[in-house]
Amino acid sequence: MSKTKAADSYIAKHPIENSAYRHTYHVMPPVGWMNDPNGLCYAFGKYRFFYQFHPYAAAWGPMHWGYYTSDDMIAWELAPTALAPDEPYDKDGCFSGSAVMKDGKLYLLYTAVSGALQQQALACSEDGIAFEKRGVVIAWKDLPADASKTNFRDPKFFEKNGTYYAVIGSKHQEGAGQILLYRSGDLENWQYVGCPWRTDGDELMCECPDYCSLGGKDVLISSVQFLHREGWRNENEHTPRYITGEMDFSAGKFYPEIGDEIDSGFDFYAPQTFTTPDGRTVMIAWMQMWDRTYVTAPEGWVGAATLPRELTLKNGRLFQAPVREIEKYRTRPVKAKDLPILGERVVENVRGNKCELSFTLDLGTAARAGVKLFCGGQREVSLYYDREKELVIFDRSNMGVLVSGSSRERDALIRSVAVRVKDNRIKFRLFMDVSSLEVFLNDGERTLTGLVYSPKGADNIVFFSEGGPARLVKLEKYDIVV
């Protein structure tokens, strides 16, 4: 039996039956381990989502490409495992990569790992389901002389004015992280163009680079390993960042303008973008982080993907909004207006842990104001504005389960982000899904994504203010049922 078929038969025999934490409207592995989203695209009439997959344990292992398809990016259907590490050049893993349609065929470019070597290999499908490997097309000998041979991975390829380009993650031999640009006319033969981006500092690696074009700007994205903390930024061990600017595709040079971290929560890594048929740029990330306590591992699975998020640039900065397709799945609406908060306040019919909750918060004279979510059994997850710190804070320290990270991480229980307060107000839009919380602030100017593990049935929602009254100007809540 082929290795992809073996993975599918394992999946069929090992459904996850007892789980306290499975999400209800986010993509997760059917069993085993998921990390990076790969090969995001719309092809053969469906959205396609591949991912780094290790079926046989709820832990990272020899990487396969798991596979889901969808009509709307929200309801996903399991598809046969697309790639398995079954060739000499990829025997140690089919690492991250991307997808492109060319001449009616779907091509995957992924990192083939064999021993210490990381090279880029091509696979092709005529029906979008069965993939035939074509071998290594960008080899270690295609690297510039000053690049590490063992850190060369995660190609994101795309077409621009009739030429194919790939941005690939790399490490300079002196230790800086960098993104390399390659060019091809036919997807089989590739030439090195240049190094459009290199980080300052060393011991870094630019994983999962991505390129998209937004509002007339070129945007480079990369998940930078071991970036140093700067205030509330880069609090995780590894940080996905974006940089806007202009790319000179013929010289392989990038002229940067604005850069920042993409999400300020706990669990957001390896985002990849693609373009929908109606021209939206949509990004999906891994909703987990490396080196954490993997709370769901005893249930037989780890990892999920964020909601697909539409990207736009406003005043040069990145904004994120969940794709509008999610709104089709709203049920049981609750709407309210003008609710004063002094101390704690529960709003009639506003409870749940598989729902969307939006509110505009007038901060009044409160020192701190916000909401406690996933409340029950003395446990809660809180999200609030702290006026003195001028930060929105996501605090999961009292969620009920202790999560810790690597020794480099100062803390894995509290994250914060600066937001602009306009007219003394902040807009919150939250998506809760059993064990996850995605927060969009001020129409997606900032986001916080994190996993939360609370006691069974902890679904109370309590608004609060401390040190003075605050007010809910407007509130909307929907259950999300997919």
Nearer to ligand FRU, 44 or 60 (CB): 60
Closest-CA residue to 23 (of 477, 432, 471): 432
Q: Which residue number, 158 or 464, has a Cβ lying nearer to ligand FRU? A: 158
Nearest distance from C-beta of residue 185 to ligand FRU, angstroms: 26
How near is the Cβ of 347 to ligand FRU at its closest, in Å?
A: 39
CB of 300 closer than 8 Å to CB of 32: yes
What are the DSSP E strand ranges found in 347-459? 354-362, 368-376, 379-386, 391-395, 414-418, 425-433, 436-441, 446-451
Number of H helices, E strands in the chain: 1, 31
In the block, which residue shows the tokens 């409207």?
25
The full DSSP string for 54-91 is: ETTSSS--S-EEEEEEESSSSSEEE----B-S-SGGGT
**Closer to ligand FRU at the Cβ: 111 or 320?**
111
CB of 205 to ligand FRU, least distance (A): 8
Torsion-angle region of residue 348: left (phi > 0), alpha (psi -120 to 50) or beta? Answer: beta
Q: Which residues contact 115 (CB under 8 A, 6 or more apart)?
A: 92
Closer by beta carbon to ligand FRU, 63 or else 287: 63
Closer CB to ligand FRU, residue 38 or residue 442? 38
Of 36, 210, 263, 395, the catalytic one is 36
Shortest Å, Cβ 111 to ligand FRU: 5
Catalytic annotation on 36? yes
Q: Which residues bind ligand FRU (CB under 6 A)?
A: 35-36, 52, 63, 95-96, 111, 153-154, 207-208, 269-270
Q: Which residue is nearest to ligand FRU (CB)?
A: 95
By the 10 Å C-beta count (0-12 exposed, 13-18 middle, 19+ buried), 134 is classed as: middle
Residue closer to ligand FRU, measured from CB, 63 or 434: 63
- E strands, 317-367, in order: 317-322, 330-345, 354-362
CB-based contacts of 279: which residues, under 8 Å, 6+ apart?
none
* C-beta atoms surrounding 459 within 10 Å: 17
Q: Which two tokens stand for residue 259?
A: 């850069």
Residues carrying an active site annotation: 36
